Amino acid sequence: MGVDGIAGLRAGRYLGRMPDVTTTDATMGGTADRLRILTVPDPVLRRVARPVGEGDGDAVRNLVPRMLAAMYAAPGIGLAAPQVGLSLRLAVIDLQRDDARAPMVIINPSIIAASTETEPHEEGCLSLPGQFADVVRPRVVTVRYLDEAGARQEVTADGLLGRCLQHEIDHLDGVLFVDHISALKRNMILRRLAKSLRAKEG
Ligand code: NI
């Protein structure tokens, strides 16, 4: 498990056992199906995801293009595996600056450094559709991760990418952007979201 296990992704010698997540049966149906993005209060969004490891090679190869498709269709700039029902430490990001696509896949990411300087910025989340709040986070972070090919990568980012990395890594720990704001604001957002989701269901 962990970093060493992932190196094998490159060698392609994995048997491709699907991760043990029972809640994904519906969302992970046929490979041609579009992934459904789960919304609060789905419990998988609150679970600490497990690291991608040996045996996940096929699952990751299958999942990444479908997660990217779901993110672009939403549309969004980031999507973490728990948001599509898979409790795995994997997320995709694409800021799509100037409408150009440059997908980034982060596997088993960890924040290895964060600036003491913080800044507020408005955030939203595909799992809390239509809801936004100012969230205070470190201004700059350094993140270590494995890319889709299993190669070790490190990125230091501020601005939107730094923000997005922190937001997606939070998802892997069952943390949502509303956890960073006051209880008063959080409850207001969650009430508003529940109401709008009910209205959508009819
Ligand atoms: Ni999100």
**Total Cβ atoms within 10 A of residue 154:** 10
Angstrom distance (rounded) from CA 16 to CA 164:
29
- Tens-place pLDDT, residues 114-132: 999 999 999 999 999 999 9
Considering only residues 7 and 121, tell me which one the structure prediction assigns the higher pLDDT. 121
Residue 150 CA, ligand 1 centroid: distance in Å: 24
Residue 115 CA, ligand 1 centroid: distance in Å: 22
Q: What is the pTM of this model?
A: 0.84
Does residue 14 register a pLDDT over 90?
no
Residue 176 CA, ligand 1 centroid: distance in Å: 7
Would you place residue 32 in the very low, low, confident or very high pLDDT band (cuts 50, 70, 90)? low
Query: Which pairs with CB-CB distance under 8 Å and at least 24 residues apart come from 176-185?
Result: 176/40, 176/45, 176/125, 176/127, 176/128, 177/123, 177/124, 177/125, 177/128, 177/133, 177/135, 178/128, 178/131, 178/133, 180/135, 180/136, 180/137, 181/133, 181/134, 181/135, 185/133
- Ramachandran region, residue 55 (left: φ > 0; alpha: ψ -120 to 50; beta: rest): left
Q: Closest Cα partner for 107 from 77, 134, 144, 136?
A: 144
Residue 57 CA, ligand 1 centroid: distance in Å: 24
CA angle 175, 94, 130 (to 5 degrees): 55
Angstrom distance (rounded) from CA 202 to CA 196:
10
Residue 181 CA, ligand 1 centroid: distance in Å: 15
Percent of the residues in the chain that have a pLDDT greater than 70, as a whole number: 84
Are the beta carbons of 123 and 163 closer than 8 angstroms? yes
Angstrom distance (rounded) from CA 94 to CA 161:
9
DSSP for residue 12: T
Considering only residues 178 and 17, tell me which one the structure prediction assigns the higher pLDDT. 178
In CATH, what number does 25-201 get?
Answer: 3.90.45.10
**Contacts with 146 (C-beta within 8 Å, 6 or more apart), sequence order:** 3, 6, 9, 52, 106, 107, 108, 152, 153
Active site positions, annotated:
168
- Tens-place pLDDT, residues 33-91: 789 999 999 999 999 999 999 899 999 999 999 999 999 999 999 999 999 999 999 99
pLDDT at res. 151:
96
Residue 157 CA, ligand 1 centroid: distance in Å: 18
